[in-house]
Amino acid sequence: MSTFTDDLTVANEWSMKALALMTHNKIVPVPANYEVWFRYASGQAVDLTEEIDRRLREGKPVDAEVTSELHQRYVSQTALADAAMETGDKLGTEIDKILKLVQSAAGDNSALGSSVRAASEGLTNKSSPTDVRRVVEAIMSASVEMESRSKALELRLTETKSELSALQTNLSKARNEARTDGLTGVNNRKAFDELLAQEIAHAGAEGTQLCLIMGDIDHFKAFNDTWGHRTGDQVLRLVASCLKGGAREVDHVARYGGEEFAVIMPGISTERAEKLANSIREAVQARELVKRSTGETLGRVTMSLGISHFRAGDNAGSLIERADGCLYTAKRSGRNRVISEDSKVAPVAKAS
């Protein structure tokens, strides 16, 4: 069994590692940033650890901006998920109360029947009018009591209905917030992972088509460095808007991380997915950016996109990996273009 001293030693090691990583990446150790890197250093937040490791493998920066985005996705969103669970627990408690009320009412009905039977058992064809009157009075008394209890039950059920309605609203809101990217309003990474797994399972079971688009804003870091993060956020919202506008109703648009976006497209051919992806790319390129605070024209941004299609035996990892490979080829081939697995473009080998 670990002691307090053992736990403190381990926590200190994680803390030192977190601070060293923040120093290396030039990140100020404010509480929110420290929380992200402490979780990474401890290795206990699996999704967060995988995301940071992936970015490091690909040579992408894990700076203060990315750390803030990771905090929103993996720390704040976890708190929202916990809130949804808490609301769900309260909802379950209210339902239990209703069941007990109904069971109580059923018990009262049973008690009424027993009272009637008990009062009636003494009656025979030789019973006097007085005997009959006593039985009738007993039945009426039991009926009045049951009516009073029924009104109390009706009142409590009305109150509980109102409480349930409020809880259902809160639960729905918490669940939506836990699956939505706070900045852009599209699905977040958690929702993306769940939706992709569902669509892969459906495509595998039904033999239907499925395409995945992975998109990345070209030169986004340079744009951020030049115009600032607030303007960068404006760009992210613009791109998300173009993705939602260009996708079909059945598609799932998500912010995959940082400046990366994804679109899950069920029941579509690669050729059709390419056309839609190019429409989205053109819509992004056509939007002229204006700095809201000054009205200054900032030019335009472009986007590169890669597309993979479902194959028998695919899982989320293999589908994402191939779409990422196509995206990488689009970047290395000049950016501002769409490359799919069926494109007649020789793949560019990734640098080791």
Residue holding tokens 């704040």?
Answer: 76
Mark 303-318 as b/e (b = at least 16 C-beta within 10 Å): bbbbbbbbeeebeeee
Structure token pair of residue 221 = 């870091």
Structure token pair of residue 47 = 């999704």
Q: Which residues contact 20 (CB under 8 A, 6 or more apart)?
A: none
Alpha carbons 28 and 44: distance in angstroms, whole number: 22
User: Does residue 259 carry a catalytic annotation?
Assistant: yes
329-334-336-337 Cα dihedral, nearest 10 degrees: -50
- Could you tell me where the DSSP H helices lie in the chain? 4-24, 31-42, 46-57, 64-70, 77-121, 129-178, 189-206, 220-227, 229-246, 270-286, 316-332
Report how far Cα 6 is from the mean position of its chain's Cα atoms.
36
Alpha carbons 316 and 327: distance in angstroms, whole number: 16
Active-site annotation holder among 51, 69, 259, 260: 259
Alpha-carbon Rg for the chain in angstroms: 31
Q: Within a 13 Å sphere around the CA of 337, how many CA atoms are in the beta-carbon half?
A: 13
CB 94 within 8 A of CB 174: no
**Residue closest to 70 by CA, chosen among 188, 173, 174, 176:** 188
The catalytic residue positions are: 259
